[in-house]
Structure 1
């Protein structure tokens, strides 16, 4: 096995001695509970036992419908009578009919009334309302939507138009509609007819448009704000144009203000400081040095308040801290301590930590807001700063308290003290009677059948719709049910919703071990590290897709997948193959093993490379040194990667414990051979 990084992994001899007898006793009790419910757990999730013929017919028809087809379902629905997913075929057929504008209103209304309270009801209803509103079929819209205000701005806009067209534009309607327009900027383009009606009838004033334009500018909706210019005064248009052009070229407008060429600001003196502050913040991201000069020049001309100047100086300092820039502390010096925000104070402390200024770090942590200073992270670094400042007696109580916590910093504290990490595991209750009752809920049965038939998105919608008002106890049983189905991401989510943070057997599932054990052994990888990475990357969801295109359990990028699959001589036939564990796991494990080899079995660097790419990880190694201790981790410039590495290292420790507990259970369950 690959050698663990010594500063976080604990020696086997010390890791699990403490409390082992107590843990073993609790686990024996826990597994005895499982054995009493094993008969129930057998056939889930299809406890209603539909025939394989019905299942296959549903899958075939639903897949056809999802491709946009319009088949005749009459015979199919007869064959699927009693099958819990049969309504999904009608639901998808109605969606297709809406897309082609071929829907029969009476049939769809009858279907919705018959299936109120289902997971798909609101989605189908909203799609129908959008189409009815776009067609201005106000009579049907009112029939479907009702008279109560709707949460969705587009649907509420249509509802108001329907009410005005059918019942007339009364004074009450005009006042309600005008207030809706004022309170919901920016509104979708479908609300344009409502705006025109209000404007023609004099219920939107110049001030309404001005306040709307300012609100849109503050929200970053520059073009939508500019669309209101024809309703503004000449001075308002000039001011808005100054701001709009400044968004496109901040330096140009800031220079104009410095050179007294910004008469537009004088027309709205109460807003001038706000606009200049906005343009300085825009400019600071790309031209920090020039922004500093602008701050001083605008202050000298009394166009910028001291509070705004401090705000921009702090922004420049924080952004410098993000980059680990050499001048970070000099930039923070421009902002008096009593004018720093919570974010600024934390980044000032983080900079002292990165520089190893231990005594100054103590003072910086003490200046943090209490919610930050009492966090696990800053409690650990305060203790570390005391140790580095030759104050071990002050540090020890902090470390002893923190070492009782199961997280990254708690594990670091335990290592400092030379004691085993505390897992604080507490098995979640597994109760056969409420579990049986839960499994018999129609929504849960539909969720299970949808998951089993491969329609996971629909399954997830059913699952959360059914459990929307669930109690803590119900969420706990739902976690067990989902884990038994192999739906691990919903199991982890359910136990999180239950608030059972110590139910490690559910929060950190030992999934896909039959595949992963031989793969990890062949790649000379620590199995706990592989499981930790999957837990972080996908939460054991084989269909996970990231915003950058990574796929599957180990979130493999398609280009990486193609390269590694060729090396393994198991070429991918399609990109979607990465959503299949039989492809994703060998590729992901092999890629991780290559990273571990590249970085001399250093999981910190391998994890950083897996998240941010090898080139960035190598750059950090060159800049920060080869000793990847905890302070090295804190200097990673990407916040996402910094947190990712911490999670992987902590999850790895938890999975090492989980695997050892599993091994202990196997030993206990193995029948002993009688001595001869």
Structure 2
């Protein structure tokens, strides 16, 4: 398979800003009539209250059968009902393509009488969370609980063990599309990576940091799989969250840095917002979306669940629809996912009040020895600038320094005997800087910002392990995602994103951001170095990129 240059992947949109047309958000059509919506609500409420007969009576009056399969599934599995093989088999005959089908099939196998025909197998395993148990159900060694799925972290465990095929399959089975996408990417299966990352990017209920990352990696996978026409739209989607790690990289690649508005006498009075990049991408006409929902049962189920306020079921239908969609239908599924989000009160335009990035006066003993903005970013994350903070693991002070680490760095065992000395901000800041400087100076890290920040949180071990697994000169973004400690992965993205925001607010360079956006494999903190200034009130100037 042809190898794709990582630098090309990073630089392609950084060097060429495309002028793609934006698109509005199509109105999602209704799936249920008022009477059916009321009847479904009444029936599901009756089931929750254990009134099974009342639920069936209400269901008999429903005209639109789109959610009857879910309603009957919940009746069959209710604690007050013991489903017979005949009931389970009949359900599978009518609803074998629904999400709960693997669970119904597994129970039907357990309750199948001797000599009875095998129940209908699930036609499409919409959710594979229980499929491992279903496969085991025909054997003699089946345990009492055959519905127990693989653990939620098993896909990530397989990825950490470099068992990429298993990580990919488990990621799909468990709905861990992020891990499935990373596994596919590492195997060079970029089309599959695109599909998995896209599901993350378009999930309107997902955390913005995760969605931004999903959108950025979808953009990378789009280019790597030959879908250059999809690159920009996902960079723009990632850039909707301009305070996130991947959002800032995406905007830099597009040449559209965040704008600092309402700049007051102090930089922390600013409000940072994404530059106006035009409307939502991937236009879909309202008539086309209405026709799609009317003709696609799964899309109708997603909208119907949404109308009933059952967001988890709606998102399951959306994710499964996206996973199986053809290229032609994928745009419609994506539009449907976006169209449902605003109706749940989610904003499509994020503004970040820079009051969330305070800049109190910090005066380290001996002054600033690393970039001032990085000290602020770490202190904000570690303690919220609280000088007398103490963690559950025994770290102290504004930069959360461990007493044993302080003793080693300072050559003073007194920090172990009297750790409250670390509540002195000047001392704590000096030692915190000394530790990050040590991480920067490690031979394997080569002064790299991302490697050093990850190691400030978790120690150098996890990063060294990721470097061993990926080999020399790895893609720095893949390197971060390969760290096997979840907290460290989140930490480096949070702190580095905050560092870049502080750099803007202080009017300092963003050459490290440029390096990441252009696809460099080495991100030295020294790229952002400016001559040191005396400790005291932080600068209030703004760069040419702010207004």
- TM-score calculated relative to the size of structure 1: 0.39
Point out the structure with max Rg over C-alpha.
1
- Higher relative CO (Cα under 8 Å, sequence separation at least 6) belongs to 2
